[in-house]
Amino acid sequence: MNFESLLQTHLKPLVRKIDSEAHYPEDFLKAIGKEGLLSSKDLPKGERLSREVYLVKETAKVCMTTAFNIWCHLASLTYIRNTDNPFLKHEILPYLESGELLGGTGLSNPMKYYAGLESLHLKAKRSQDGFVVSGNLPAVSNLGKDHWFGIIAEVDERQRIMAFVPCSAEGLTLKEKREYMGVNGSATYSCAFNDVRIQEEWIIAERADEFILNIRPAFVLYQIPLGLGVTEASIKSIQKVCNKQGGCNQYLDIQTDELQIILNEMTKKTFQIAESPNISEKWNELLQLRLDAVNLTLKSVHACMLHQGGAGYLKNSDPARRLRESYFLVNLTPTVKHLQKMIQKNITLPL
């Protein structure tokens, strides 16, 4: 089954349930891997990144909540693809790529830490067979009973470790969060670590400060198509009502031609970066593109609400859902204010 068919049969019928009932589309997420769409075997890095950017973009056109879940999983894949840990590389990665296991990312707080916005929430103490971690993460998405997710914990002021933790770990308590304005079907949980034993085979990197430089470009790159997909869907929604009320929409300030030109250029840039030999060298460009994608998304969903009129104001309408999704994108780490700080202060290394 090709990906478009998968979207139409496995996801599209569930969008309203995902949005209004916080349904988690686990079967769809696993089906992506089952179809071989996440396999990195014998695939050049640029080609793999481009394919995965495409998966996020096409999914976001249908449901950004689910596209966000894919981003979470791709972020976890990025961690394990870049680790030197043989257990994670050989025993966990194949199952993540095949969809048998799903992954989340607990790096919202660490990414803010590295930009000087927050202190680290998790602390680690070395033990005989690894580390013991305590602390609380307020929100980690794409989690479930058999899922894994990445964390960064501070050992001391000179060392931070990164690990991949199963949700079933002893001492780890998950509490589901559904009180958000949107994106409630993302399987988001608060995570309380009470002396959780982190085995050596779960360690992604013992020097997280250096490792983060390798993974953060893909971490940000995979977020950009969230906005591109929502923008494309908004443009199509506007076009469907161009003749509404005697063509009165033509007098609105924002029109699809303007949005489409910007979207085309932004999409082109995104795939060019994905295909570049070393995306780490594109860090500053990635940050600006990520910020531009948020602003374009906000503009497009706002325009769509104006063009749709009363039909868009219905609680369960697609334009209303995309409006709520866009405000999640504003607050997805790195948030707009986080991005603007990094761009304006030219933050390229962890503070």
Specify the CATH number for the domain of residue 59: 1.10.540.10
Q: Among 58, 16, 8, which residue's Cα sits nearest to residue 37? A: 58
Residue percentage of the chain with pLDDT more than 70: 99
pLDDT for the residue numbered 349:
67
* Tens-digit pLDDT profile for residues 283-302: 999 999 999 999 999 999 99
Q: Which domain holds residue 254?
A: 211-344
Q: Among 137, 134, 121, which residue's Cα sits nearest to residue 195? A: 134
130-140/189-199 β-pairing:
antiparallel
In a domain, 351, yes or no: no
**Average of per-residue pLDDT values in the chain:** 95
Identify the band that residue 227 occupies on the pLDDT scale cut at 50, 70 and 90: very high
Identify the band that residue 3 occupies on the pLDDT scale cut at 50, 70 and 90: very high
- Rounded distance, CA 340 to CA 86, Å? 38
Q: Which of 168, 186, 207 is the last residue of a domain?
A: 207
Same domain, 47 and 135: no
Structure tokens at 88: 């994670």
Q: Among 222, 231, 277, 217, which residue's Cα sits nearest to residue 54? A: 222
Q: Among 78, 71, 52, 38, which residue's Cα sits nearest to residue 142? A: 71
* Tens-digit pLDDT profile for residues 69-111: 999 999 999 999 999 999 999 999 999 999 999 999 999 999 9
CB 141 within 8 Å of CB 104: yes
Mean pLDDT of 119-142: 96
In a domain, 270, yes or no: yes
CB 351 within 8 Å of CB 157: no
Alpha helices in the chain (DSSP H): 3-6, 15-21, 26-34, 45-62, 64-82, 86-87, 93-98, 108-114, 208-221, 224-240, 244-247, 256-274, 283-308, 318-331, 336-344
Q: Among 327, 340, 334, 325, which residue's Cα sits nearest to residue 69? A: 325
Residue 311 has pLDDT above 90, yes or no: no
Residue 306 has pLDDT above 90, yes or no: yes
pLDDT for the residue numbered 351:
54
Domain CATH code at residue 157: 2.40.110.10
Q: Which of 192, 207, 222 is the last residue of a domain?
A: 207
Q: Tell me if residue 202 falls in helix, strand or coil.
A: helix
Residue 32 has pLDDT above 70, yes or no: yes
